[in-house]
Structure 1
């Protein structure tokens, strides 16, 4: 993890009291303990330990001590020089790791994952990784780390990098305010960072409750943790505890740090108020300080192995996650096991030591670059170029490859049409399927015209997820598409028909939320969403509503009706709104593209039996008993052959993951879709 300056010289300036300026090895040992927690929890337990939060606190604690000392001694802050020195020390190790990950990924990682790694490499290089992960709503707690990005852990370094820019500005502002109004500098700092602590903590609690996956990576939801460390630096000179109490506080802090990852509901509640647990634990250790007692926790934390591990902590954090992920990809496993975990840690330690010995220390001691700002800038420019050059070349190669694969798609990639018994088509052999595996991120249906005017929903959440296709003249037909991402994928042929036929088509979609009514199988957010969607549909009064009307499951070939869907469809029909329901597509336990990449398109694993994938009897009778006027569409015969459900049909990938149909395949299905839609709706 990135911190301000953790050399013995710096730590000697972080005394527990202003009169105590001796080297505090227990702080270095605390960092070592935190990184060992992070590594072991990731490797063996698949959990978040809280060790990262300890790093955040220590970073802010040391940064605050440094700036407090500078201002009170009358030294100029010179923020530009500070930032250049800071990133000159941090960035080279980042560059080494990113370049190493790029090389290993090119050899080991399937091509379908290359674009994500490239995107996250850019984001990691410029300290924006956390925002990329937040927007993607990455599941940081996923048990199968082999499917994670080898650079995913850079989110915390990105948050720290952003804070390393913001914090000096806040100290500078505090200094200016103190001089301008003749106030005590520490009092202004207390006010500024105290207000930031309260505001960020309140925001973190709210966002964690409403959108925890996003909050985990959101810098705004993490600022209070840095503010906690800053406030600790302010308070520490005034905390005077008896020796016995400090001994107890030190061990209580260590015990709380080690146990937090197992005792807390990290997945559901971090980084809200629950993150106070590791922060308070680390604060207890810092407050305990050096007890000079053989029974003190500082004796354990000050041991040479832990202090030396503290020196390695930044590089070890950088390396452990990519080594773990790439090892799992190489072995095609979901976890390394006990012995494999030790090997992952051993390799990480070797790489960390080499990075510290040959990169970190030389760059920290590079006085030549510190003497002139332009020299430090030169170091940063060269560091960025060492990553930017291979990334740019790789991106260009991927783009060129995708163009070559799609060059003759009209003749080489008929897709769903080969399953039409009347056409008697076949796909040429030895032709790579489309889309190129590096283009899968473009296979989601997208619209960029938001609903406005009379089409704009009253509900705020709906407004953010409402898009519309508007014909140039009066619409021939008014359709609203509702449901989850599976409704969104069927919007590919629907949107093409709307544009060709002059239909108005509104899309109100929320991922993971099947349309219907009632809490069964739905989150409270989904239940609230569906109620708002139904109100919106009734208010708009379109000609028809289109949605996915069944729920397929990867563990059972028999699909079922979404809870409350039949009743909702009947209610809409009673209000003069026709409902068109399409049967859900098959779902699988593994990624279809990865299966083809690793085993080949003809592998039985990539072509599971149809009887094990989706039943020949959809629950349409049950639906029509309650809503007899629903138009039901079933395209299973174009997603599966007579005996199996293949990953590739007519040289087109049918799916882009384990359950979403590719836009390219749906475009090949559009003529068949249009014919069946017209027959069912009888326009």
Structure 2
């Protein structure tokens, strides 16, 4: 949104407005074009252009606010902030929202045409979040990472920066008005208000920068999207607005500042990997470059080579369509890659994406600017307000309604999966079979691909599974003590999501055998000593002590690691063995279950795309599971470590299929669905009886 807020100054000719900053149009157009070029030709690399917009948008909004407060009113008249706010928000939203609605509506249509149904709901949520300017928080909530563009990238992921700027644009005027009401109206005077406003901006900026450094070190992905860790970039631009215009008198130092700042912007994407380093210390580079340009830009008539060079027609044209170009280029990139099935962009494809993005940007800008000029210049404020609000409301209602239908159907599918028919036997089709059994084409499989991703082990609904993130507090060991079926036997389930996926079967066994089942889990974190430098290391340093405090009869965890990377052999990392040995020092027996196969694609999405062609979504068993893997390692394992291998309940003798016994096996590229995991109970029970007979030797009496 901030990129837009300053964009429309470009349609004002240099001689029409005193204090007009000619260099800013050029820098804005160049920086936005760099964003597109790096995304399209650089396979998603970050250019730093967004950081430039954060600074510029905050500068212009703050300058506009200070101009309102400093403007003298006729004697006896009082300032009318309500009128100013109404004009301000109608003006900004009328210029910005229609373009965003056009692009978001196009994304919905493209989603229906080209994305698999498994992606519908998340895309709808993000479109809605983008329309209401909280996409950055939606991305944090949905745990998406900002990486290189690919066919699985969100088509509206780039709206995160507009959300950050939009939140600033919404809150900042009210903060200024609150400070003005407290100090200026209390008789302290406008000068006191300016000092307090500046001091508040400085404190908030410093606090945000410190928080950004902390959060980048803890969880850079969250820091990248977080409004509070990004505010310091906005605050830096806002503080420049407090410097009196007289300080910016033109001179060769100012001219040099513009050229140096522009050069820094041009090379930023080549020097820094912003997707991995921003908004930490590295972001000082694009922010500092923006401040140099602001400090050196002329006010009023163009003076100097920089002002003339950066206000020529082609550069001003780039500035005029910059916002629309930013909106269009990312979805065009993502959907083009999706349709072509590419994970990288060739130069020919990149040129096509750039041309289409420019064409759509030009058309959108012309349509919106024509409507905006008429609504703001000729219509009453209620009619003008309807220009952005009516299409926004229509988009929101459409998105929410469509998402509700999809979500309702998913839950209907899961309810059906909870009551499998006699023909839907899952792992039972493989147990004892010599060849994998193909599902009867007349009997559908469950869960459906569109509902598979949310078919999780129910323990995740209890709120006691530790987050995979690396934010402060995420290294604490949490205990899920919700399945107490008897106290004579205690079993602990731990070791990451690939262990917890067995929870549905293990819980049923615990209920039948009257065990107390504890789940002590941090997602993405195996029971190991070789994951260091993050909260997983912190969690592992305390988890053995926590487990031992419950005096369990058995710990159930992951026994081997199957890699997602092709050609990487299955292994038992030394760090896992060391944790097993530590448990052994407390007299605790450990059962490790073999890792499940990892697919090079999302299995439910593959099924949506290939329909009844199950073979297209299967893989050779030996490509992931090493024959006689544990037989060669048995002598080297700790005496308290017992391995069970249920790969025969997942794969046939030669292939690992996506659907077994009319039940969908995988909910993503490697985790079992909750529905299929339930069908593995007989195999898991038999395996546990073989390696841990002490759990079954003397079952406690009922009642």
Do Structure 1 and Structure 2 share a fold, with TM-score over 0.5?
yes
Q: What SS class does the counterpart of residue 81 from structure 2 fall into?
A: coil
Higher alpha-carbon deviation: 430-439 or 275-284: 430-439
Q: Give how far 1:543 is off.
A: 2.4
Q: Give how far 1:297 is off.
A: 3.1
Higher alpha-carbon deviation: 272-281 or 612-621: 612-621
TM-score where L is the length of structure 1: 0.90
Classify 1:360/1:117 alpha carbon distance in 2 versus 1 (closer, same or farther; 3 Å).
farther
Classify 1:178/1:390 alpha carbon distance in 2 versus 1 (closer, same or farther; 3 Å).
closer
> 2 CA distance for matches of 1:604 and 1:593?
13
Equivalent residue for 1:655, pick from 666, 677, 689: 666
Q: What SS class does the counterpart of residue 147 from structure 2 fall into?
A: coil
Equivalent residue for 1:137, pick from 140, 143, 152: 143
Equivalent residue for 1:562, pick from 573, 591, 615: 573
**Would you say the 8 A contact 2:475–2:538 is kept in 1?**
no
Q: What residue number does 1:64 align with? A: 62
Q: Does 1:546 align with 2:556?
A: yes
Q: Give how far 1:562 is off.
A: 2.2
Give the 5 Å matches for 1:158-557.
Answer: 158-179=163-184, 180=186, 182-183=188-189, 184=191, 185-235=193-243, 237=245, 239-240=247-248, 243-290=251-298, 296-363=305-372, 365-367=374-376, 371-373=380-382, 376=385, 379-393=388-402, 395-396=404-405, 399-400=408-409, 403=412, 406=416, 409-421=420-432, 427-445=439-457, 446-450=459-463, 460-463=473-476, 465-471=478-484, 474-519=486-531, 522-553=532-563, 554-556=565-567
> 2 CA distance for matches of 1:339 and 1:165?
41
> 2 CA distance for matches of 1:667 and 1:611?
25
Q: What SS class does the counterpart of residue 540 from structure 1 fall into?
A: coil
Q: What residue number does 1:670 align with? A: 681
> 2 CA distance for matches of 1:232 and 1:13?
22
Classify 1:422/1:343 alpha carbon distance in 2 versus 1 (closer, same or farther; 3 Å).
closer
Q: Give how far 1:321 is off.
A: 0.6
Higher alpha-carbon deviation: 613-622 or 421-430: 421-430
**Would you say the 8 A contact 1:561–1:619 is kept in 2?**
no
> 1 CA distance for matches of 2:62 and 2:621?
63
> 1 CA distance for matches of 2:407 and 2:235?
43
Q: Give how far 1:387 is off.
A: 3.7
Higher alpha-carbon deviation: 374-383 or 546-555: 374-383
**Would you say the 8 A contact 1:251–1:296 is kept in 2?**
no
User: Deviations 1:493-515 (Å, cap 9, x if unpaired)?
Assistant: 22343455543333232233221
Classify 1:654/1:108 alpha carbon distance in 2 versus 1 (closer, same or farther; 3 Å).
same
**Would you say the 8 A contact 2:603–2:668 is kept in 1?**
yes
* Unaligned ranges ≥5, structure 1: 453-458
Classify 1:13/1:631 alpha carbon distance in 2 versus 1 (closer, same or farther; 3 Å).
farther
Q: What residue number does 2:468 align with? A: none
Classify 1:449/1:587 alpha carbon distance in 2 versus 1 (closer, same or farther; 3 Å).
closer
Q: What SS class does the counterpart of residue 505 from structure 1 fall into?
A: strand
Q: Does 1:105 align with 2:111?
A: yes
Q: What SS class does the counterpart of residue 460 from structure 2 fall into?
A: coil
**Would you say the 8 A contact 1:84–1:373 is kept in 2?**
no
**Would you say the 8 A contact 1:514–1:562 is kept in 2?**
no
Q: Give how far 1:350 is off.
A: 1.5
> 1 CA distance for matches of 2:24 and 2:568?
56
**Would you say the 8 A contact 1:418–1:650 is kept in 2?**
yes
**Would you say the 8 A contact 1:479–1:542 is kept in 2?**
yes
* Unaligned ranges ≥5, structure 2: 74-78, 466-471, 696-703
Classify 1:26/1:462 alpha carbon distance in 2 versus 1 (closer, same or farther; 3 Å).
closer
Higher relative contact order (CA 8 A, sep 6+): 2
**Would you say the 8 A contact 1:477–1:503 is kept in 2?**
yes
User: Deviations 1:565-597 (Å, cap 9, x if unpaired)?
Assistant: 223212312312221111111123222233333
Q: What SS class does the counterpart of residue 506 from structure 1 fall into?
A: strand
Equivalent residue for 1:41, pick from 38, 41, 47: 38
Q: What residue number does 2:585 align with? A: 574
Q: What residue number does 1:89 align with? A: 95
> 1 CA distance for matches of 2:655 and 2:608?
19
Classify 1:189/1:404 alpha carbon distance in 2 versus 1 (closer, same or farther; 3 Å).
closer
Q: What SS class does the counterpart of residue 580 from structure 1 fall into?
A: strand
**Would you say the 8 A contact 1:81–1:373 is kept in 2?**
no
Equivalent residue for 1:76, pick from 80, 83, 90: 80
Q: What SS class does the counterpart of residue 494 from structure 2 fall into?
A: strand
Q: Give how far 1:392 is off.
A: 0.9
Q: Give how far 1:173 is off.
A: 2.0
**Would you say the 8 A contact 2:111–2:120 is kept in 1?**
yes
Q: What SS class does the counterpart of residue 661 from structure 1 fall into?
A: coil
Higher alpha-carbon deviation: 37-46 or 498-507: 498-507
Q: What residue number does 2:124 align with? A: 118
Q: What residue number does 2:154 align with? A: 149
> 2 CA distance for matches of 1:378 and 1:502?
64
Q: Give how far 1:85 is off.
A: 4.1
Classify 1:58/1:475 alpha carbon distance in 2 versus 1 (closer, same or farther; 3 Å).
same
**Would you say the 8 A contact 2:97–2:388 is kept in 1?**
no
**Would you say the 8 A contact 2:29–2:322 is kept in 1?**
yes
Q: Give how far 1:393 is off.
A: 3.3
Classify 1:645/1:601 alpha carbon distance in 2 versus 1 (closer, same or farther; 3 Å).
farther
Classify 1:413/1:177 alpha carbon distance in 2 versus 1 (closer, same or farther; 3 Å).
same
Classify 1:504/1:103 alpha carbon distance in 2 versus 1 (closer, same or farther; 3 Å).
same
User: Deviations 1:167-195 (Å, cap 9, x if unpaired)?
Assistant: 11111122123312615132122101011
Q: Give how far 1:271 is off.
A: 0.7
> 1 CA distance for matches of 2:141 and 2:688?
35
> 2 CA distance for matches of 1:242 and 1:27?
15
Classify 1:538/1:290 alpha carbon distance in 2 versus 1 (closer, same or farther; 3 Å).
same
> 2 CA distance for matches of 1:296 and 1:426?
74
Classify 1:174/1:11 alpha carbon distance in 2 versus 1 (closer, same or farther; 3 Å).
farther
Classify 1:365/1:55 alpha carbon distance in 2 versus 1 (closer, same or farther; 3 Å).
farther
Classify 1:505/1:128 alpha carbon distance in 2 versus 1 (closer, same or farther; 3 Å).
farther
TM-score where L is the length of structure 2: 0.88
